[in-house]
């Protein structure tokens, strides 16, 4: 049977994602998820540094100290929840699949 659409080649910028019908979009989405996780971590550290600076420069103003401490606490809690999600994923991966990294390998499944 002849292909009615002809042969379509990938643009040069998309070659690293492979064939678009065999994992290309899934690789792209996986890379986007990894980027978002890294950006969340960088944002958390940046927010923690800014909150620490606000705490140090608050002086004797109790409102500024309380606000800076709340921001520090919320940032640390957010980072702990994010790290805890990875720990739980590793534990459940070991329990279900007998592999700690089974749920930590970011994969988006698509048509093969």
**Tens-digit pLDDT profile for residues 34-52:** 788 888 888 999 999 999 9
| Cα distance between residue 58 and residue 91, in whole Å | 41
Residue 43, C-beta contacts closer than 8 angstroms, at least 6 positions apart: none
Of 19, 13, 35, 34, the closest CA to residue 110 belongs to 19
**Tens-digit pLDDT profile for residues 49-88:** 999 999 999 988 999 999 999 999 999 998 888 888 888 8
pTM score above 0.85? no
């Amino acid at each position: 049977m002849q292909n009615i659409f002809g042969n379509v080649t990938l643009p040069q910028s998309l070659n690293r994602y492979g064939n678009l019908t065999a994992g290309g979009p899934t690789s792209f989405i996986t890379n986007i998820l990894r980027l978002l996780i890294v950006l969340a971590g960088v944002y958390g550290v940046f927010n923690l540094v800014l909150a620490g600076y606000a705490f140090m420069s608050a002086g004797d103003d109790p409102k500024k100290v309380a606000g800076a401490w709340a921001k520090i606490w919320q940032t640390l809690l957010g980072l702990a929840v994010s790290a805890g999600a990875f720990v739980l994923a590793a534990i459940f991966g070991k329990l279900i699949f007998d592999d700690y990294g089974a749920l930590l390998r970011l994969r988006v499944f698509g048509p093969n």
